[in-house]
Amino acid sequence: MALAQPQPAALRALKFPDLADQERRERQEAVAKARAVAVPAPRQPEPTDAALKEEVALLTGLLEVASDQLQEEGRSLRLAEQTNASLAEQLQAAVTAREAEMEDHLLTLTALERAQAESDRLRALLMNQGRWEEVAAATEALPAIPASFEELWARIGVFEHLRITADRRIALGLDEHAEARTWAAKAWTGLAALNSYAEHRLQGRAGGFRHFCQDPPSGARVYPVNQIAMTESAATMQAFGRERMFPTVGGELAEMQPHLKLAGRGNLCPRVHFLDDVAGTDASGLVIVGYMGPHLTNTRTN
């Protein structure tokens, strides 16, 4: 969480006042000594070798003091440049994060508008048929979206076509972060979409989950297509494929490359990995969710 926050104002210009004051005092003392030495003492009108040596030593000392001052100014300039570069990076990261959030909100708004339009149409049809009681009953106790992964976990039983084998402790660990509410809401939307896909698939609809979300049937629950990945890169699977092995219905491990993205950027970038086991020979008729937690290791992990 600390890494995700902007740099505190007190650290934006790194300074050490005690050391700076000490160096300044030392320079002032050196200049004062040099000037004291420069005061001509009564001597012969013609300069002697000793006087010339003293003058050379004085000038050399003054040059060294000036050199030290230039070096300090150079260090201060480099520090200021580094601070500015750091602030620019933080600003760019914040702008990128806000743009990603805006994109997520727009996708959510699009889905909401579509659902609202379908709801209004169905409500109008029921009312035209005089089925007022059914309309009232349908709107009495609509469930809200979970505000945390703990609440989500307590309600996953409503998805009859899903089997959750993911480690509960890892999922609940996401609640410790500031973005947990948003992640939990997106995870709930993703699980609802997977459940809706499985329901329609069992009814004979062809195609995989991504295609289902691209071209959904009427009344289907979907997840944003650009936040669905059905495969991992070959390099990631070669190096970190073991991390994508999760329990299935029978307890044996299976590779689960497909995943839902709960966040596009950040330190955690949570993911939901699943296995489509709805159709096919010896299929369980379920979508198995084997992982819900922080982004797994890949080739871009540092």
pLDDT at residue number 25 = 75
Alpha-carbon distance values, 277 to 161, 195, 198, 214, 294 (Å): 10, 12, 9, 20, 24
pLDDT at residue number 17 = 61
Q: Domain extents for the chain?
A: 17-96, 146-293
State how far Cα 1 lies from the chain centre. 10
The number of C-alpha atoms within 13 Å of 64 and in the hemisphere containing its C-beta is 12
Give the tokens for residue 30: 């050196």
Residue with tokens 């926050």: 5
Task: Identify the CA nearest to 72 among candidates 84, 60, 64.
Answer: 64
Is the CB of residue 290 less than 8 Å from the CB of residue 248?
yes
Q: What angle do CA 241, 245, 246 make, to 5 degrees?
A: 160
DSSP 178: T
**Dist. CA 231–CA 276, nearest whole Å:** 12
**Residue 274, SS3?**
strand
pLDDT at residue number 144 = 78
**Dist. CA 260–CA 191, nearest whole Å:** 9
pLDDT at residue number 18 = 65
pLDDT at residue number 202 = 94
DSSP 226: G
pLDDT at residue number 108 = 67
pLDDT at residue number 169 = 96
Per-residue pLDDT 10s for the chain (302 aa) are 777 677 777 776 666 666 666 767 776 776 676 666 555 555 555 567 777 777 788 788 778 888 888 888 888 888 888 888 888 888 887 777 777 677 766 766 776 677 677 777 877 888 888 887 877 776 665 677 899 999 999 999 999 999 999 999 999 999 999 899 999 999 999 999 999 999 999 999 999 999 999 999 887 889 989 899 999 999 999 999 999 999 998 889 999 999 999 987 767 899 999 999 999 888 999 999 999 999 999 887 65
The number of C-alpha atoms within 13 Å of 207 and in the hemisphere containing its C-beta is 12
Whether pTM exceeds 0.75: no
**Sheet bearing 259-261, strands edge to edge:** 162-164, 286-293, 271-277, 259-261, 228-229
**Dist. CA 280–CA 287, nearest whole Å:** 12
DSSP 204: T
pLDDT at residue number 136 = 75
Task: Identify the CA nearest to 62 among candidates 79, 82, 38.
Answer: 38
Is the CB of residue 258 less than 8 Å from the CB of residue 274?
yes
